[in-house]
Amino acid sequence: MAKEFTHIIDDRVQMIDTSQKNSVTRLAVASGKIILTEDTISKIRSSSIEKGNVLATARVSAIMAVKRTSDTIPMCHPIPITGIDIDFDVNDDSITVRVKVKSVGKTGVEMEALNGVSTALLTIWDMVKSAEKDETGNYPHTKIQDIEVVEKTKSESI
């Protein structure tokens, strides 16, 4: 039996109609990690990265990414974001980014949380490129990994 697709039928691409769904409070939390050298982490902690404050810039980029998710992921609905919270856990050789997104609406916010994490991690990489490059201009130690949804809930709105 052939699988029925919800968003692509033959050559027709469509967004799912959520108009009949009830609005509920939704929350999603995503996280991800960037591996950096200890020297780069030290420079981030001492605010000596030449491009500026790495975590403040990554926080702003995550917020912007969450709000613009439907602009970059074709099947995502534009949704009303009611809250965004970004946390960083800075370790000796990595930074973990955690993005929590809340909405009251008809569809989930996990893609928004994932987009926020991904963009924050990419922003960190961009901010520390000069510190992470080796003598050949490559990034042998730098890695982005473990991007995942760690929590997703929905509950009836009050």
At residue 55, φ and ψ (nearest 5 deg) are -75, -35
Type of residue at 47: S
Choose, from 89, 126, 134, 146, the residue flagged as catalytic.
126
Superfamily of domain 23-156: Molybdopterin cofactor biosynthesis C (MoaC) domain (3.30.70.640)
Active site residue 126: yes
Residue 139 pLDDT class (50, 70, 90 cuts): very high
Q: What is the mean pLDDT of residues 61-86?
A: 95
Rounded Cα distance, 83 and 124, in Å: 22
Rounded Cα distance, 59 and 36, in Å: 18
At residue 101, φ and ψ (nearest 5 deg) are -125, 135
pLDDT of residue 17: 67
Count of other CB atoms within 10 angstroms of residue 156: 8
pLDDT digits (tens, 9 = 90+) for 5-63: 566 666 666 666 677 777 889 999 999 999 999 999 999 999 999 999 999 999 999 99
Q: Are 98 and 86 in contact (CB under 8 A)?
A: yes
pTM of whole model > 0.75? yes
Q: Would you list the domain boundaries of the chain?
A: 23-156
pLDDT of residue 95: 98
